[in-house]
Amino acid sequence: MPPSQTPRAGRAFQAPRGTRDLLPDERAGLAHLERTAAGLARRYGYRGIETPFFEQTEVFERGVGAVTDIVEKELFRLQPRTEDAETWALRPEATAGIARAYVQHGLHTLAQPVKLSLTGPMFRYDRPQAGRYRQFWQWDVEAFGDPGPAIDAEIVELGLRFFREAGLDDVDVLLNSIGDGACRPAYVADLVAWYRDRADQLPPVERQRLETNPLRLLDSKAPAMVALNAGAPRLVDRLCEACQAHFDAVRAHLDALRVGYRLDPGLVRGLDYYTRTAFEYYRRGAEGQQQALGGGGRYDGLVELLGGRPTPGIGFALGLDRTILALRESGRLPAAEDAPLAVIVGADGAATAERLRLATDLRAEGLPVRADLAVRKLGRQLETAGRDGAHFAVIVGEEPNGDHVQLRDLKAGTQRSIAITDLARELKRAGSSHHHG
Ligand code: AMP
């Protein structure tokens, strides 16, 4: 039956709102970033870790903060199927789960700092828009057990290097210190009083936030708030001695690395657990927008919040989806390198077993080859091999001598006879100097 007459067996579905399928070209872009991240993790000494995609909800309520947007509005809560008292949520970020694992497995007994790296999907029930999805990928690194300041600089520099090696050379870092338990409470009290005096200028959502999470008002991007915030008291002017010394030393280390950064006193980050160093990565000229490429900071109180002993920590989370978007925008997204080195074609269209067997033997030798498995004329098989971007076509069944085949170089347009026993060696030699695609 021609396709037009095929009755529709069922309805067609769409991926859930806010999620995307990564089709092969885009999957290759993500693979490029995963490789870049893995290579840097290896060079900088961050070891791989995986944690579950979901955790007990409380891990995020405590570890991220119950009054943050991420937990209040965006947490993907799972409906339990059992009578279990536990409730779960999909991870909105990686730090809380990794800190939970650090405590659970007693990683404080290892040599400190414990430096960890994780790449994977995160989930937030956010309003979907460009660069904001309900499932998105992050590269996350964490270092536990080092109070800094040198490691703060190491991590800030590592993030910049990631973007540079991924292919973006216009990424800047914004830096701030948000103090700690010694200096922040008094500052926050003053800040609340300052905003209360100006309550009539606050949009309703900010007025509400003032009661629950006042620091967040500082990084509001609402135009009225940006203007108001320019005159707000700044925590960097009120740091306690220890936080000031730490901040100065982080900056000195960045200077020693020749890492340029910009101070942004309004940068507070959305998460409750941050202390002292906070930073965000932006493409040059995009700093005023919501679209940070990544961010991170120090969280010296987190491990204790999750039941461990007091342990300093610092890390970052870089958004891979937004990095892919930025790479594509600037024409720097590398093409998928998945063209076969060779395609096995045949003079006898019906001899598919012969072509498949030769391809299987070459694959066993480690070579990326495709066999043309369609019963069709040689000319059509060769056309498809060219369209695949293959460097070579191996033509079987044209040689009077059955243990030889024709090796056609599709790029150079040359062709010669070769013994099948020499084929793998010859293709390997050519493949090592051949760039796919
Ligand atoms: P955050 O923990 O919110 O600072 O997120 C760190 C990075 O993850 C951000 O800078 C973004 O690049 C990325 N990110 C966060 N939320 C989303 C989202 N909903 N969709 C895509 N990327 C996101």
Q: What pLDDT digit, counting tens, does each position of 100-110 carry? A: 999 999 999 99
Q: Is 214 in the pocket of ligand 1 (CB under 6 A)?
A: no
Compute CA distances 27 → 139, 184, 321, 325, whole Å. 15, 43, 11, 13
CB atoms near residue 401 (< 10 Å): 9
Q: Is the pLDDT of residue 2 over 70?
A: no
Distance, CA of 144 to CA of 321 (rounded, Å): 27
Lowest mean pLDDT among 154-163, 179-188, 347-356, 413-422: 179-188
Angle at 423 between CA 420 and CA 425, to 5 degrees: 135
pLDDT score for 271: 64
Q: Does 71 have pLDDT greater than 50?
A: yes
Model pLDDT for residues 149-174, shown as the tens digit of each residue? 999 999 999 999 999 999 999 999 99
**b/e burial code for range 103-130 (CB count within 10 A of at least 16 → b):** beeebeeeeebbbbbbbeebbbbbeeee
Say what the pLDDT of residue 1 is: 47
Ligand 1: residue whose CA is nearest its atom 12: 319
Q: How far is the CA of 294 from the centre of ligand 1 (A)?
A: 7
What is the distance between the alpha carbons of residues 276 and 302, in angstroms, rounded to a whole number? 13
pLDDT digits (tens, 9 = 90+) for 136-151: 999 999 999 999 999 9
Is the omega angle on the peptide bond into residue 113 within 30 degrees of 0, that is, cis? yes
* Mean local confidence (pLDDT), 173-196: 93
Burial (Cβ within 10 Å: 0-12, 13-18, ≥19) of residue 59:
buried
- Tell me, using a 6 A CB cutoff, whether residue 40 lines ligand 1: no
Instruction: Tell me which residue of 43, 64, 230 sits closest to 141, measured CA to CA.
Output: 43
The residue whose C-alpha atom lies closest to atom 4 belonging to ligand 1 is 295
Residue to substitute in 76, 91, 122 for testing ligand 1 pocket (most ligand atoms within 8 angstroms of CB): 122
Q: Is 13 exposed, middle or buried (0-12, 13-18, 19+ CB in 10 A)?
A: exposed
pLDDT at residue 58, as a whole number: 92
Taking residues 261-288, report their average pLDDT.
85
Report which protein residue has its CA nearest ligand 1's atom 21.
132
Q: What are phi and psi of 200, to 5 degrees?
A: -65, -20
Pocket test for ligand 1, best of 136, 291, 293, 320 (most atoms within 8 A of CB): 136
Ligand 1 pocket check for 126: Cβ under 6 Å: yes
Is the pLDDT score of 273 beyond 60? yes
Which is more confidently placed, 192 or 269?
A: 192
